């Protein structure tokens, strides 16, 4: 195990900059916000710790990248920011997200609510769900998993055409595995900050993706017509669990962060760290480090960090108590599971409350 630890001065420069204009901007922040962000370069901080590498296959080791400090982010001429008439994040679900309509609707409602709180100040809106056939994408059966996959690039083209006029970005989500090109095994997602589009799959976040045979898996490769989308009628859909929801929220906000121009973080333990595998993604926290938080604050324009954190706590509290009412076509078991879906967010809530204590000191 290796600890990536930067000096206090390095972290201070990465956060505040030596540019007098950016230093002045920082000094105009609310005192509580400065107090919280200054935790970045406090060695004894229990809010923001160093990055821990567990194996040579971890992202930073296997994908060397130049770090991006706040000044580099601020000065990027190609970075796109929301404008007064383009302040909406649209979410487009493709294919079923749950084994029942109720589960699909609640799952995407939770993702949208989380996205709205995370990118506080922007609007998060749902588009009407569409079946795979609507996208006219290419698809295949993966030789390793025998699971169906859809072509990520084709989906991005579909989303680009559907992007509303007032959208800052549009992101597609699916429970179907993705592949970017024929030579690749799979990809969890793809995004274009230039076009403001992204596509993400949560299929491999199911606990049994690799270990069980599912309805919709194909036991042997068979030829299908490129227009025969009926093969997706019984496609594998993982069970919606608290852990899957947590992983989905991480992926969605990480990738939208890229659309805002945030590169992979190499400063502190942070949501914007890259990940090569599920174990590394699970170690990645839900929170942004202060350096990446300042980038997001600059991009989105939320002025009070405290309001954003309170919105995140409200999301957790609301979803903990918001159990859908029973209807004839939905089982009592479904309703019981909904109330437990934010269990994996308990540590995250406790961490936010610690941050609020620093902000309000």
**Which of the residues are catalytic?**
255
Gap between the Cα atoms of 59 and 273, Å rounded: 8
Gap between the Cα atoms of 140 and 187, Å rounded: 14
Q: Which of 296, 285, 300 is nearest to 351 (CA)?
A: 285
List all residues 6 or more positions away from 138 whose beta carbon is below 8 Å from its beta carbon.
Answer: 150, 151, 154, 226
Q: What CA–CA distances, in Å, run from 126 to 99, 183, 197, 212?
A: 19, 33, 15, 32
Gap between the Cα atoms of 169 and 55, Å rounded: 35
Residue 180 corresponds to which tokens in the numbers above? 């970017």
Residue 295 corresponds to which tokens in the numbers above? 């980038």
Residue 300 corresponds to which tokens in the numbers above? 């989105």
Asked whether the beta carbons of 263 and 59 are under 8 A apart, the reply is no
Name the β-bridge partners of 169: 89
Asked whether the beta carbons of 46 and 36 are under 8 A apart, the reply is no
Gap between the Cα atoms of 151 and 230, Å rounded: 16
What's 41's DSSP letter? G
Gap between the Cα atoms of 332 and 119, Å rounded: 34
Q: At what angle do helices 101-118 and 305-321 cross, to 10 degrees?
A: 160
């Amino acid at each position: 195990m290796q600890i990536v630890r930067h000096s206090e001065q390095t972290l201070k420069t990465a956060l505040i900059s030596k540019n007098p204009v950016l230093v002045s901007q920082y000094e105009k922040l609310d005192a509580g916000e400065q107090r919280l962000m200054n935790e970045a370069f406090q060695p004894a901080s229990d809010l923001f710790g160093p990055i821990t590498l567990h194996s040579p296959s971890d992202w930073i080791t296997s994908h060397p990248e130049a770090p991006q400090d706040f000044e580099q982010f601020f000065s990027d001429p190609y970075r796109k920011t929301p404008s007064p008439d383009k302040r909406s994040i649209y979410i487009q679900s493709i294919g079923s997200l749950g084994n029942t309509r109720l589960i699909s609707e609640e799952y995407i409602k939770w993702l949208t609510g989380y996205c709205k709180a995370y990118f506080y100040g922007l609007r998060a809106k749902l588009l009407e769900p569409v079946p795979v056939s609507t996208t006219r994408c290419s698809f295949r059966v993966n030789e390793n998993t025998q699971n169906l996959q859809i072509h990520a690039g084709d989906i991005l083209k579909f989303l680009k055409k559907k992007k509303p006029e007032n959208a800052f970005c549009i992101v597609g989500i699916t429970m179907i595995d993705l592949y970017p090109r024929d030579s690749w095994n799979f990809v969890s997602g793809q995004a274009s900050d230039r076009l403001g589009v992204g596509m993400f799959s949560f299929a491999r976040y199911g606990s049994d993706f690799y270990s069980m045979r599912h309805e919709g898996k194909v036991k042997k490769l068979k030829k299908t017509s490129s227009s025969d989308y009926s093969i997706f009628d019984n496609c594998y859909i993982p069970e919606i669990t608290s852990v899957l929801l947590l992983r989905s929220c991480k992926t969605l906000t990480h990738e939208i962060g890229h659309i805002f121009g945030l590169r992979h973080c190499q400063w502190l333990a942070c949501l914007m760290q890259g990940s090569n595998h599920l174990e590394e993604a699970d170690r990645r926290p839900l929170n942004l480090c202060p350096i990446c938080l300042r980038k997001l604050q600059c991009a989105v324009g939320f002025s009070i960090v405290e309001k954003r954190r309170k919105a995140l706590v409200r999301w957790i509290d609301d979803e903990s108590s918001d159990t859908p009412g029973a209807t004839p076509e939905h089982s009592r078991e479904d309703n019981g599971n909904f109330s437990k879906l934010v269990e994996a967010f308990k540590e995250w809530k406790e961490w936010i409350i610690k941050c609020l204590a620093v902000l309000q000191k």
